[in-house]
Amino acid sequence: MPITKPIIADRIETTAQGLVISVAGQDYRISWEQCSPKLAAATDQQRAEAELSPSGYGIHWSTIDEDLAVGTLISA
């Protein structure tokens, strides 16, 4: 079984159009609709409360109880 390298985000940014995830100096832009139904239906304020995990593996939105993996988001 091959060993896969984990995908770790350096930073994230929320915009009106979607989520920007920076991985190893490359930015990935993902629309809110592509992220999840919860985020597509959320307000701009709720989306702006995104928190990158200390490990860089995941993103959490506490007010809408949403957790997404960075690797899954940029692989979609």
Domain parsing of the chain, residue ranges: 11-75
Give pairs for 65-68: CB < 8 Å, separation 24+.
65/38, 66/36, 66/38, 66/39, 68/35, 68/36
| 3-16 pLDDT, tens digit each | 677 899 999 999 99
> Does CATH place domain 11-75 in 3.30.2020.40?
yes
| 51-65 pLDDT, tens digit each | 999 999 999 999 999
pLDDT of residue 1: 63
